[in-house]
Structure 1
Amino acid sequence: MTSRPAPITSSELANLWMAYQEKTMIVRVLEHFIEHASDEEKQLLQSHYNSALNNIEMITSILQQEGAVVPIGFTASDVHNGVPKLYDYMFDIMYLHMMTKVEMSLYALFTGMSYRKDIEDFFISLTSESQAVNSQATQFLLEKGVLARPPFVTMPKEVNFVQDKNYMGGLWFSEKRSLNTVEVSLIHHAVETNLVGMQLMIGFAQVASDQEVQDFLAKGMKLSKKIEIDLGEFLRESFIEPPATHAGKATTSKTAPFSDKLMMYNTSLLASFGLGSNALGGAFSLRSDLPTKMAFIAKDIFTFAQDGGKIMIKNGWMEEPPQIEDRNQLTK
């Protein structure tokens, strides 16, 4: 006789709920991209689309077995088929490359927060899927010449330890050393992500139906550009050109393929990812001016994310996560 597994924990419920939101959003975005993709692009997009649908079914099944309501997430009403494409050459794969980075981070975190074996295995599989698609997207974009590799460096020939007390300098009048490879990698990642994010915001802003949403998304476009310029300057000071690409631009279409609700959620998700990336960048940077710059960027992203949350709540677009029972009510 097989015993029933333990009920899912609050962490597992929360993470399944968050995964459902992200996966239902992704399938809606991919539906628009697949409609306009070349045969070569469509193969990669369709594979991730099919996996996302299967994952949504799995989450639905788990929640129903636990007696939990299935979230609304994003439905067919959040994508408009038959409209002109919103983004040009290769943006669909560039978007997939960016979003699978978000997925890898989310699902690896969710795996570590899972205690029931089947839930843990599920998030392990989601992490593995995202890693595989990200790898395919990376190689695809490299082959097409639209993804800039991080700079090559001379390989170290010996191990060194920091001797100079100014190694962690960089603020005000202290002498700045050249960036190390850890710092270059984190900056390159941030610039690359914001380049795609900026084009995403440009497209979203020009098709949003609500003026407040349009203004907010335009602010997101300017914030992405500012981050790209500010961090790119660190690379230029070390005589390294920041990543750039000729592909993946927003078209001139004014017809929205997505609902304002979906565009706001996608923007919110990327803002949360940006906060995490900035925290990581600040933590691993040993030149004092870098963590300081990351802190200012994080403040701007946090303020931007808060403004977005207020707009979503105002319009009834923010689905509430599962709530812990309010025990205080028992004492009243």
Structure 2
Amino acid sequence: MTNLNDKKVMSESNIPLTASELGFLWAQYMNDTLDICVMNYFKNICEDKDILPLIENSLSIAKNDIRIISEIFAKENHQIPVGFTDEDVNINAPRLYSDSFILMYIQKVEILAMASVSMAIGLSARSDVSDFFRNLLISVSELHDKARKVMLSKGVYVRSPKIPVSNQINIVENQGFLIDFFGKHKRPLTAIEITHLFNNIQTNGMGKALMMAFAQVCKNEDVKQFLIKGKEIASKHMKKFGSILIDEDLPAPMGWDAHVTDSTIAPFSDKLMMFQTTYMIAVGIGNYGMAAGTCQRLDVSATFARLAAELALYAEDGANILIKHAWLEEPPKSVDRNKLANQSE
């Protein structure tokens, strides 16, 4: 006898994928193929026995994702993306990053994954897709927790600034909480504002180190100049956010630059390095947008909004390079109804 719940799942799986489900699955497939390339290289250079299991865990998650997404796409008769392959990685390239960088990279990437997968769960209606992302969230959160514990044990986990515990409730009484009208005294930063400043310094720190390393090893001159510009932008943003914290007598986290070696032999293709860079830019724009919307001190909010606009212009430069070299794989899109109408005439 067939269970009614089984019938429900079967019928749901026959419903066509929505644009949200298709988009999230496509993006996850692309990121997983990149992750396999990166982790295979990390696996080959990593010497720390505490970090190697994390790399293996990341590879296992990515390979399982690709298998499931490929099955879903096959059932939908949807073209499976190319993504990244063995041609995009040279696992025998010399060490470009320290083992500590690999550990911090895994932890940071899983934070980004948890955010994107959570959104995918919220916008996925079909049970098979929702279940896939729900199980993926469990996997990446567990990997993040393992990486966090290893970072703590090795003394490389950077905690956000501490603030005094409040023993009373305060009510905002005037607009001075939002803006310093007379330029004499800005109120202290809230915990949320400190969090956004701290997180964006760390994210820029990882991005700067990645771009600095990529610029050392990339082959195309336009890619090199793009990466050098990105490194300069990241450095400028880190200094701006750090100065806001320091002005409040709060510590700013250090960068990741010391974890990049002097190797000039590329472990990755220019295509992969450009994709990862533009992905980090997109993450940065999203982080700045969230910060601008939730920081209540208007000078801080305006800083995030202004720098987000700068990142958007830089992102356009990256997209143009991807298009120029035929590296930009087109995501699923809707049909052009006007074009179809004109063809029928």
State the TM-score, normalizing by the size of structure 2: 0.92
- SS, match of residue 177 in structure 1: coil
What corresponds to 2:242 in structure 1?
Answer: 232
Shift in Å, 1:166: 0.7
Of 325, 328, 331 in structure 1, the residue corresponding to residue 338 of structure 2 is 328
Q: Distance in 2 between matches of 1:171 and 1:267?
A: 39
Q: Is the 8 A contact 1:91 1:247 kept in 2?
A: no
What corresponds to 1:67 in structure 2?
Answer: 77
1:155-170 correspondence runs (5 A) = 155-170=165-180
What corresponds to 2:106 in structure 1?
Answer: 96
Shift in Å, 1:258: 0.2
Shift in Å, 1:103: 1.0
Shift in Å, 1:171: 6.8
Shift in Å, 1:156: 0.9
The reply to whether residue 31 of structure 1 matches residue 40 of structure 2 is yes
What corresponds to 2:314 in structure 1?
Answer: 304
Gaps of 5+ in 2: none
- SS, match of residue 50 in structure 2: helix
Q: Is the 8 A contact 2:20 2:123 kept in 1?
A: yes
Gaps of 5+ in 1: none
Give the number of aligned pairs.
Answer: 332
Q: Is the 8 A contact 1:205 1:218 kept in 2?
A: yes
Shift in Å, 1:175: 2.4
CA 1:258–1:27 in 2, change beyond 3 Å: closer, same or farther? same
The reply to whether residue 154 of structure 1 matches residue 164 of structure 2 is yes
- SS, match of residue 90 in structure 1: helix
- SS, match of residue 259 in structure 2: coil
Give the aligned CA root-mean-square deviation in angstroms: 1.6
Q: Is the 8 A contact 1:148 1:245 kept in 2?
A: no
The reply to whether residue 254 of structure 1 matches residue 264 of structure 2 is yes
1:50-129 correspondence runs (5 A) = 50-129=60-139
Q: Distance in 2 between matches of 1:293 and 1:245?
A: 20
Shift in Å, 1:51: 1.2
1:182-193 correspondence runs (5 A) = 182-193=192-203
Of 19, 36, 55 in structure 2, the residue corresponding to residue 10 of structure 1 is 19
Shift in Å, 1:98: 1.7
State the TM-score, normalizing by the size of structure 1: 0.96
The reply to whether residue 201 of structure 1 matches residue 211 of structure 2 is yes
Q: Distance in 2 between matches of 1:328 and 1:158?
A: 61
Q: Distance in 1 between matches of 2:23 and 2:85?
A: 20
CA 1:230–1:126 in 2, change beyond 3 Å: closer, same or farther? same
Q: Is the 8 A contact 2:37 2:86 kept in 1?
A: yes
CA 1:57–1:304 in 2, change beyond 3 Å: closer, same or farther? same
Q: Is the 8 A contact 1:89 1:248 kept in 2?
A: no
CA 1:193–1:246 in 2, change beyond 3 Å: closer, same or farther? closer
Runs of 4+ in 1 over 2 A off after TM superposition: 1-5, 170-175, 245-248
Q: Distance in 1 between matches of 2:88 and 2:249?
A: 45
